[in-house]
């Protein structure tokens, strides 16, 4: 496939990804916030949600579900999203609260936090899969929304890059668990780190109940 063909397909994909937003714009909505999270599955670290309001004329091909993109591409698109966004914000809920209220409720809390921190109040919210009961703004939960809505996809990229950077910083403090590579997910290197050094303050105890026994409690750093 030539470069021109790839660019044409990326343009067509962008038009497809903007259809939901265009319908809302046609109905008089001006500010649409896309909401997505990353970090529901890891054994350690926070869950991070992003809220992003894009301009009507947003024209950056390549924005898609962050899981479909390489790290390099996510970083490139993150910079462009930050440059063009009308408003963006981040919600972060740490592992202690995740253990206290469960990951689903922590995810919703991170999303709510992100919405409330936006400088520009959205008139409509598009959320990947979920809906938020405590938010009075009209909203729509979309299954696989990060592949169907450019606003949600932009939020997925912002959330992913933000959390990956957080976990890379944590790796400097806790190098035994390979957080720079696994971002807190349960890889072999991560489990080997737990076996050798016990749990650290970033671990989600509620996620590790079946793996850790009393012997680890004495090893916790």
How would residue 220 be classed by pLDDT, with cut points 50, 70 and 90?
A: very low
pLDDT at position 169 is 98
DSSP character at residue 32? E
**Is there a domain that residue 27 lies in?**
yes
pLDDT in tens, 94-106: 999 999 999 999 9
Total domain count, the chain? 1
CA-atom Rg of the chain in angstroms: 19
Q: Does 214 map to a domain?
A: no
- Enter the DSSP assignment of 129: S
Is a pLDDT exceeding 50 seen at residue 16?
yes
Query: What average pLDDT score do residues 64-87 get?
Result: 96
Q: Report the mean per-residue pLDDT for the chain.
A: 94
User: Does residue 173 sit within a domain?
Assistant: no
Q: Which of 98, 88, 86 is nearest to 54 (CA)?
A: 86
Residue 192 inside a domain? The answer is: no
CATH number, domain of 132, equals 3.30.420.10
Indicate yes or no: pTM above 0.85.
yes
For residues 164 and 42, the answer to whether their CB atoms sit within 8 Å is no
Task: Note down the domain range covering 108.
Answer: 3-166
159 occurs within a structural domain: yes
Q: pLDDT tens for residues 164-203?
A: 999 999 999 999 999 999 999 999 999 999 999 999 999 9
Band of pLDDT at residue 7, cut at 50, 70 and 90? confident
Q: How far apart are CA 46 and CA 105, in angstroms?
A: 13
Domain membership flag for residue 115: yes
> Is 31 a member of any domain?
yes
């Amino acid at each position: 496939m030539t470069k021109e063909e790839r660019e044409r397909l990326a343009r067509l994909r962008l038009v497809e990804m903007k259809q939901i937003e265009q319908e809302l714009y046609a109905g008089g909505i001006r500010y649409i916030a896309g909401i997505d999270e990353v970090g529901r599955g890891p054994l350690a670290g926070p869950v991070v949600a992003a809220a992003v309001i894009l301009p009507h004329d947003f024209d950056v091909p390549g924005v898609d579900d962050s899981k479909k993109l390489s790290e390099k591409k996510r970083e490139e698109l993150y910079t462009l999203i930050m440059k063009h966004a009308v408003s963006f914000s981040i919600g972060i809920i740490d592992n202690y609260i995740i253990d206290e209220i469960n990951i689903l409720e922590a995810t919703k809390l991170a999303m709510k936090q992100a919405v409330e921190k936006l400088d520009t109040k959205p008139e409509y919210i598009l959320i990947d899969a979920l809906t938020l009961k405590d938010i009075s703004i009209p909203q729509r939960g979309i299954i696989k929304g990060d592949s169907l809505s450019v606003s949600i996809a932009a939020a997925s990229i912002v959330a992913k890059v933000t959390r990956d950077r957080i976990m890379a910083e944590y790796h400097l403090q806790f190098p035994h668990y390979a957080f720079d590579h696994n971002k807190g997910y349960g890889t072999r290197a991560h489990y080997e780190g737990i076996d050798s050094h016990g749990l650290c303050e970033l671990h989600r105890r509620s996620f590790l109940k079946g793996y850790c026994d009393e012997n680890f409690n004495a090893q916790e750093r």
